[in-house]
Amino acid sequence: MLGRRILKDRVAHGTMATLTVFVILMVLVMAVGLCLKSAPVLEGQSLWTLLGSSEWKPMKGQFGFLPFIMGTLWVTFLAVLIALPISLLTAIFLTEYARPVVRRFVFPALDILAALPSVIYGVWGMLVIVPWISERLAPHFVEFSSGYTVLAAGIVLGVMVIPLLVSLFIEVFSSVPMELREASIALGATRWQTTRKVVLRKTLPGVLAATVLAISRAMGETIAVLMVCGCVIGIPTSVLDSAYPIPALIANNYGEMLSMPLYESALMFAALILFAVVLIFNLISRIVLYRIERRDA
Amino acid sequence: MAIEVQHLNVHIGDNHILKDVNLTLPERQITCIIGPSGCGKSTLLRTLNRLIDSTEGVKLDGKVLVDGEDIIGSGPEITELRRKIGLVSQRPCPLPMSIFDNVAYGCRINKMFKRRKSLIYAVQKNLMAVGLWQEVRGRVRTPAARLSIGQQQRLCLARSLAVAPQYILADEATSALDPISSKTVEDLFVSLKNEYTIIMVTHTLRQALRIADNVVFMYLGEIIEQGPADQVFNHPQQELTQKYLSGAFS
């Protein structure tokens, strides 16, 4: 009897360990696959030319990714700039101020928003945000704008990321023991002072981790951004310029261009850039989190 | 009388937690509130500094007079009331900051000092008052979480004292501590009673016996008996008190 129990325990342990290794291997396989597929374009042009050039002439074999990298960064930065304060304050309201009955209504609504397919956000962007920028906002600043801009992509992406960020922040803030809040309130602190000086301070690593997760998600978002960013190759100089982020480049062109091996390789290299940027970004944030946690522990 | 509770009733949802509580808490003495688990001791304590407000579905009724002012009605500003009534909770709860910042926290929140030197002096004075200064001097800038549990509890007491309260509420403040730390904190309360009115909830009868000047015995949300410690422990008037003290229930 004991032998069977131990056997079951070992089988469970072994299965889970194998599956964990498999998940990690998948990421490695993806990275290796992208590197191999990118090799042809790297043979033709140096890494720095690929990353630093704006020349995008696939027919001539010139692939400068700078406009796409900048497009990705512009849209992601703007989306996070919009989503971060709104999400942070919403999550603070829901965890620190709102009555439980409010939470009971808002939490399911947030889950629904988070589960909406991104194409719906894209359609909303095309029907509402793009015309609003084109007809109402842009005329104050430029002569003409189609509305398909960095701003439209940033707003749509920002709104998409908000439910995710709010949910993550709520999880993070809820992990703070009530006694800690009461310790501050009992000294005469207001709720806002307690939130700023105790709750946010205690949860800083969690807030950073959640933000990094949201940024990674925003960087990789494809469909909704593709529908409203304009997809014009060029480095944006303002939020009213069109952009062409990397995921949109890959989604728009892959499949069509399979007849040109070098173009396919270039698109794989674009995917590799995205992969590397997200990876580096996560690694940096891990280091920062580790330092903060070590400082406070 | 420093704090006077008159016909206090506390409901949480459908539960009647405190039932017509009438109580006087004398100044500059230690009053120990004793009673079995769930009898409403902590609720009473949390009502005195209105921390009970954060409990969902709470309804207060009656009067709690602190220095003659009713804190249940419109009363004084709640943050000022809480500054005046310090709290030491069951488990030490250091704020996520350095030892220095923990003690300075309340002073900064309440804008008590304009000069940094005064703040540093206040932190040092209060760390000395709880006997922690010698142990932490030279590392006051390190996180408070690195202190031992007993040290953390004394730090929390120093933090409460730093905002110059008149009253100290202690909710089973030694229950999470080892015997030596517990004795240290207990002695601290005794030494502080000349300056502060201390109201202490305790589960340990022996502790109440050692340090209480007055004792309040509660049972199922009601005050069964209250009076000088000597009287309550040696000549209890109520049968329930006698049974509780004899260990018939706990």
Nearest to B148 by CA among B182, B124, B125, B123: B182
pLDDT of B1 reads 54
What is the chain B residue with the closest CA to A191? B79
What is the chain A residue with the closest CA to B153? A183
Both structure tokens of A132: 């609003």
Contacts within 8 Å (CB) and 24+ apart, A139-145: A141/A240, A142/A240, A145/A240
Both structure tokens of A144: 């003409």
Q: How many residues does chain A have?
A: 297
Q: Is the pLDDT of residue B115 over 90?
A: yes
ipTM for this prediction: 0.90
Q: What pairing do the DSSP bridges indicate for beta strands B214-219 and A56-57?
A: unpaired
CB contact under 8 A, B79 and A297: no
Of A182, A190, A202, the CB nearest to B79: A190
Q: In terms of CATH architecture, what is B29-37+77-245?
A: 3-Layer(aba) Sandwich (3.40)
Q: How many residues does chain B have?
A: 250
Q: Looking at per-residue confidence, does B248 or B123 come out higher?
A: B123
pLDDT in tens, chain A (297 residues): 668 999 999 999 999 999 999 999 999 999 999 999 999 999 988 999 999 999 999 888 889 999 999 999 999 999 999 999 999 999 999 999 998 889 999 989 998 988 999 999 999 999 999 999 999 999 999 999 999 999 999 999 999 999 999 999 999 999 999 999 999 999 999 999 999 999 999 999 999 999 998 999 899 888 999 999 999 999 999 999 999 999 999 999 887 766 788 898 999 999 999 999 999 988 988 888 888 888 776
B95 contacts: CB under 8 Å, gap ≥ 6? A180, A183, A184, A197, A198, A201, B101, B102, B105, B144, B159
User: Whole-prediction pTM value?
Assistant: 0.88
User: pLDDT digits over B47-94, tens only?
Assistant: 999 999 888 889 999 999 998 889 987 666 888 899 999 999 989 999
Nearest to B97 by CA among A196, A248, A238: A196
Query: Which chain A residues are Cβ-neighbours of B91 within 8 angstroms?
Result: 179
Between CA B194 and CA B204 the distance in angstroms is: 23
For A62, other C-beta atoms within 10 Å of its C-beta total 16
Instruction: For residue A79, give the amino acid letter.
Output: A
Nearest to A219 by CA among A264, A280, A128, A290: A280
Q: Are A227 and A122 contacting, i.e. CB atoms less than 8 angstroms apart?
A: yes
CB contact under 8 A, B91 and A180: no
* Selected residues 155-184 of chain A with any CB under 8 Å from a CB in chain B: 177-180, 182-184
Between CA B185 and CA A77 the distance in angstroms is: 52
Both structure tokens of A256: 């069509």
Instruction: For residue A78, give the amino acid letter.
Output: L
Q: Residue ranges of the alpha helices (H) in chain A?
A: 2-44, 47-52, 66-92, 100-115, 118-124, 130-131, 150-174, 178-185, 191-194, 200-202, 204-220, 223-228, 246-253, 261-296
Give the Å distances, CA to CA, from A47 to A30, A38, A53, B223: 20, 11, 10, 80
Residue B82 C-alpha, separation from nearest chain A C-alpha, in angstroms: 5
What percentage of chain B reaches a pLDDT higher than 70? 98
Q: Enumerate domains of chain A plus CATH numbers.
A: 56-296 (1.10.3720.10)
CB contact under 8 A, B105 and A187: yes
Q: Strand B197-201's sheet: what is its strand order? A: B85-88, B167-171, B197-201, B30-34, B214-219, B222-228
What is the chain A residue with the closest CA to B158? A187
Give the Å distances, CA to CA, from B209 to A295, A296, B204: 43, 40, 9
Between CA B51 and CA A42 the distance in angstroms is: 65
Q: Are A66 and A235 contacting, i.e. CB atoms less than 8 angstroms apart?
A: yes
CB contact under 8 A, A198 and B145: no
Residue A130 C-alpha, separation from nearest chain B C-alpha, in angstroms: 44
Mean pLDDT, to the nearest integer, of B158-170? 94
Interface test with B, best of A95, A187, A207 (most B CBs within 10 A): A187
Residue B161 C-alpha, separation from nearest chain A C-alpha, in angstroms: 10
Residue B129 C-alpha, separation from nearest chain A C-alpha, in angstroms: 18
Between CA A219 and CA A121 the distance in angstroms is: 16
Provide the number of CB pairs (under 8 Å) joining chain A to chain B.
74
